Amino acid sequence: MLDWTDRHCRYFHRQITRHTWLYTEMVTTGSIIHGDAQRFLNFSDDEHPVALQLGGSEPDDLAKCARLGEQWGYDEINLNCGCPSERVQRGAFGACLMSEPTLVADGVKAMCDAVSIDVTVKHRIGINDVESYDFVRDFVGTVADAGCRTFIVHARNAILKGLSPKENREIPPLKYDYAYQLKQDFPQLEIIVNGGIRTLEDIDAHLLHVDGVMVGREAYHNPWLMSAFDERYYDDAPSTKTRLQVVEAMLPYIESQLATGGPRLNSIVRHMLGLMAGLRGARTFRQTMSDAKLLASGDAGILLHAAQSLPLAA
């Protein structure tokens, strides 16, 4: 979710669901250690529970960044072993790390030794033409021995050459049964499935076999799906907040961010384009919120006006 689940996106999602775990976009260890750590690590207290997703392969660097993440207040450190982009591969991390389970285990152990919060791993079920279940089973077994207890399984292979990241989310076939089998083989571990999950019914079906579900693209493009999560999966009271009230809740945040002279209005509202998905007039809302000339004014009231023009009962 590079360039997608930044702090503004997560703050917006938190207005819809109180309990769902949120994950940062992948942040490289080099960006944190040698760049502007505050830029990459800052987040709002309202985002909790929130996990810091790291990209990297050097155990010492991972430990240093995990320690910083804990000090910053994150609730979990997640190591990305699933991103297939060539840019990430050139940094020797992401999905290509699945071919080096011992190195991943060393990184996980270093992070576990450095922090008291959970260290988790997100990964694919295979890379390139490796189709055998044994490959992912052995990867999980090796990394689990280093102290990881939670694995987020994107149930597709990662094709490291010849496919774009977008194609890697669509072309390799989904094999949910691999994630299910991991839970059978490692009942002591928390296994969370990811990939191609779009509906509440999909989530319910997966939860018959694994411990949890991660929803990525659908949660971004159709965020109102998450409005049912707290009641359905966290035994909380049903949400009474409307989509219009979500927009109203965002206004003080947007205004405070703009007042710092940092992000532009578009940098925040771009994450909200899917809020009205399924409603009559949703297309007009998206078009208004994508109008560069309107957004250049920096007037957050544009968002409220666009939302108020829609029938929001649905």
Annotated catalytic sites, by residue? 83
Give DSSP secondary structure letters for 246-292: HHHHHHHHHHHHHHTT-S-HHHHHGGGTTTTTTSTTHHHHHHHHT-H
CA distance 165 to 159: 9
**How far apart (Å, rounded) are the C-alpha atoms in residues 289 and 270?**
7
In the 8-state DSSP scheme, what is residue 226? G
- DSSP element (H, E) containing 157: strand 150-158
Q: How far apart are CA 246 and CA 154, in angstroms?
A: 30
Task: Report the candidate in 49, 39, 47 with the shortest Cα–Cα distance to residue 76.
Answer: 49
